[in-house]
């Protein structure tokens, strides 16, 4: 078999019918999942609280502050003379 790329078996997003089947299976576990979440919240476990608010209110946006202290040229002018 040639492994140089191209379409791979089982790659990509699952079909809609497979997603629906999975949701049907998980639906039966929903009460149990809510019970486990409730128990974790009652214990005061931060991870359960974080999980709850990430879904309830949405995750906060991540921001990154980038500071550039000095400028560096992308290329040297002398390099262009050689072309």
Q: What share of the chain is helix, strand, coil (3-state, %, to 5)?
A: 50, 0, 50
Measured between alpha carbons, how far apart are the two ends of the chain, in Å? 44
What is the pTM (predicted TM-score) of this model? 0.48
pLDDT of residue 37: 92
pLDDT of residue 12: 80
Mean pLDDT of 56-79: 79
Q: pLDDT tens, 4-51?
A: 667 778 788 878 898 899 889 988 988 998 999 999 999 999 999 898
């Amino acid at each position: 078999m040639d492994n140089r790329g191209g379409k791979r078996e089982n790659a990509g997003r699952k079909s809609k019918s497979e997603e629906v089947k999975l949701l049907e299976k998980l639906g039966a576990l929903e009460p149990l999942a809510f019970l486990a979440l409730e128990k974790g919240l009652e214990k005061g476990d931060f991870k359960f609280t974080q999980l709850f608010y990430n879904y309830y209110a949405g995750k906060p946006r991540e921001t990154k502050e980038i500071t550039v202290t000095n400028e560096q040229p992308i290329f040297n002018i002398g390099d262009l003379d050689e072309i």
